[in-house]
Amino acid sequence: MTGGCQLAGEVLIPGAKNSVLKLMAASLLAPGVTTLSAVPEILDVDVMADVLTTLGATVHRDVATGTMTIDTPVTPGAAADPDLVRRIRASVAILGPLVGRCGEARVALPGGDAIGSRALDMHVNGLRRLGAVVDIEDGVLVARSSGRLQGAAIWLDFPSVGATENLLMAGVLAKGTTVVDNAAREPEIADLCQFLTEMGARIEGIGGSTLVIEGVDELRPATHETVPDRIVAGTYAIGAVMTRGDVFIRNGRAEHLGIVLEKLSAAGAIVDVGGDGFRVSMDDRPRSIDVVTLPYPGFPTDLLPQIIALEAVSQGVSLITENVFDSRFVFCRELLRLGAQLRTDGHHVVVRPATQLVGASVSASDVRAGAGLVLAGLVADGITEVHEVHHIDRGYAGFVENLRALGADIRRERDAVAA
């Protein structure tokens, strides 16, 4: 890509990656045909579809309409293909539905000693509270229940999105009442709760930090539209500010990006909410802002690389603090290649204004890092090459095409193949 563009025009936001993968997993809770709409054309959806296929489901995807049908068998398999499971962490979401409905689930660990991580610990401890026996067998997480799971009170040490989702999906078919306290509150959680309710689940407290689930005997397939992707919407909004552009983000839900849009306004952007989306425009160089990532409704960690890229071209010094993932700052090493002036210290990064970013060859280490590097390349002097773009394909549908339609000088040299 060649830097120097101003993004202008309109972009349509698809369904959320962080929701649709869990909706697909939830389809395992009921035999028959589930229909999902607003399904984004991303690699992670393809992988999750393959996971479901290995469990006996029949998955059909109509890319043109963004619709997917999942025909779940009466008795799904218990063991997913380990190679597929290791490709996307979201595949752990099949754990709750399978043990809740079928009494057994076998899911490969993300790798190494991941069972000791805080998030996966909460999955395991929560399922044990519901009566499942959970063990590690040859690098596979195995959860079994000799009968129906039993409702229980569960407190999460941290509002983990993945643990909240798994315990929700395990609890909807458990006997009695399950209470999940300190539950994650992300819009994607509410979307999953809505889908489960449409399937016949009984859930109270949707959108809050305490979820009360009254177990039912069985669920039915449902038809559901995926909530729009707030992270994709936020990425284009930040891109508009960085390039001093003017972008209408159709189907973006401003209410899901409250603190993000507040921060962009503080940086000098004009944010207009109305119709079926919101508009972000910027006339001058952005002002620096400080950001702290926190669970929703705090600033999302999935927008951290993008906001650091913004700060790299802003006026003034900013302090960015990451409180969710330890490895987010790997992105900073690549941003330094583009001439950014920044320094990391633990879970903080100090960003000083750079006179001008300069094009270079950089590599994406994950989905959001890739998006952040592309945004930086749009304002860098000269040509920027971003490699390992299969990471971007995991979470952004038509990213190059959308940016080009907004006025970016960007092209894809060759198809990326996922590792």
| Tens-place pLDDT, residues 171-225 | 999 999 999 999 999 999 999 999 999 999 999 999 999 999 999 999 999 999 9
Cα–Cα distance between 279 and 270 in angstroms, integer? 8
138 marked among binding-site residues: no
Domain boundaries of the chain, sorted by first residue: 8-14+229-405, 76-215
DSSP assignment letter at 227: P
Which superfamily does CATH assign the domain made up of 76-215 to?
A: Enolpyruvate transferase domain (3.65.10.10)
Tell me the pLDDT band of 119, cut-offs 50, 70 and 90. Answer: low
20 marked among binding-site residues: no
For the question of residue 246 being annotated catalytic, the response is no
Cα–Cα distance between 376 and 141 in angstroms, integer? 40
22 marked among binding-site residues: no
Cis, bond preceding 305 (omega within 30 deg of 0): no
Q: What percent of the chain is modeled with pLDDT above 90?
A: 86
Cα–Cα distance between 207 and 186 in angstroms, integer? 7
18 marked among binding-site residues: yes
**Token pair for 55:** 């469990």
Check 62, 113, 272, 409 and give the catalytic one. 113
Q: Which residues are within 8 A (CB) of 134 and not within 5 positions of it... i.e. 6 or more apart?
A: 124, 127, 128, 141, 142, 143, 144
Cβ atoms 1, 392 nearer than 8 A: no
Q: Full-prediction pTM beyond 0.85?
A: yes
pLDDT tops 70 at residue 16: yes
Number of Cβ within 10 Å of residue 61's Cβ equals 17
Average pLDDT, the chain: 93
- Average pLDDT value for residue range 9-34: 98
Cα–Cα distance between 57 and 44 in angstroms, integer? 17
Which superfamily does CATH assign the domain made up of 8-14+229-405 to?
A: Enolpyruvate transferase domain (3.65.10.10)
Cβ atoms 268, 404 nearer than 8 A: no
Q: What percent of the chain is modeled with pLDDT above 70?
A: 96
Q: Do domains 8-14+229-405 and 76-215 have the same CATH topology?
A: yes
Cα–Cα distance between 303 and 289 in angstroms, integer? 14
pLDDT tops 80 at residue 110: no
The bridge status of strand 32-37 relative to strand 67-72 is antiparallel
pLDDT 10s digits, 331-356: 999 999 999 999 999 899 999 998 89
